[in-house]
Structure 1
């Protein structure tokens, strides 16, 4: 029962008032399932209201290169709180390696806190090559995705990105910014984006509240690779 309800919540179809009738389950079974979901922080009990979803979850597909605001079209207004915008004369060695440039080539460092529905959603840290970064920071960093700004202000279409997703425990600073307990699980997305022709122009490290976001993709089955 808990597994079924969890799937309903993540699909945005939770209706606590009709659980027993919908699933043909006893009240005790529903009560036990809801207890498990409360322990997971997915639902809460509110006096006079009943059981409600604690925080709505939003879907973010991984099968298409898209910015967060683009992905969340129709879910509300995404607001970017710009925390850091700086030109960097010497890139950190690890960042320069990922951008496939020399550290002395410099670049632009951005940090933005994403808000949706009045709550923080993600903390995005980006490093861009010097030329692309200069074009991007001249645009609307508060209201636009970096991807859209790269394409619009440089005229270079994005081609692809290499993406790695894993789970980490939020450190004290990240937890404070995202308004979650220190040590809470967050999605960590590491992404390197390339424009047409294969040039790397943007590397990002994104921390997303796992209680607010679901990462989805469609995966075809094909021949086993050697």
Structure 2
């Protein structure tokens, strides 16, 4: 069942340590099937990323019931499923503890737009949500609240004292968002160690965003997935 999506979700999970976004078994990628939107492929809990195989991925419904698979699902499954239930336009949720972005989360601090890369990708600050209890839907509720507040323009939320939640219309798009957030956070952190970075004015950040999303890349409509 959902063999192609299982392969894609497995591939994306294995990419997380390669992109230096996770440590050990922490972090996960899930993907919603576009043809069967009530079914989601999720990562098993506690399995090393390098050991993951497509057949290890579980298929669950939007209420968390296992449809196919023998392993325990990720402990973040309830969070991801809440986001997917509440925001049907989202088809993938990725959670990481990538170190530089999570450092900003530990401060409860949004990342302002200091870089053209950031303006291109998101056009607005990377928001930071309030602290929420892990293990249930509370984190998902806060992620959804923030994403709705910013009208999903930035497809990622830092969660205070926790980490990064990135979303996308597909698995690859969510993975790109998670990687770009960490790249921005790393550069901003380095800038802050040597001085005070200069913010890009909101109107210029908006212009960068429009240009990137209408002209960059090979797909009609431009850049971010």
Q: Into which bin does the TM-score normalised by the smaller protein fall?
A: under 0.3
Q: Comparing both structures, which one devotes a greater share of its residues to helix? A: 2
What TM-score do you get using the length of structure 1 for normalisation? 0.22
| Higher strand content, 1 or 2 | 1
Q: TM-score, normalised by structure 2?
A: 0.22
Larger radius of gyration: 1
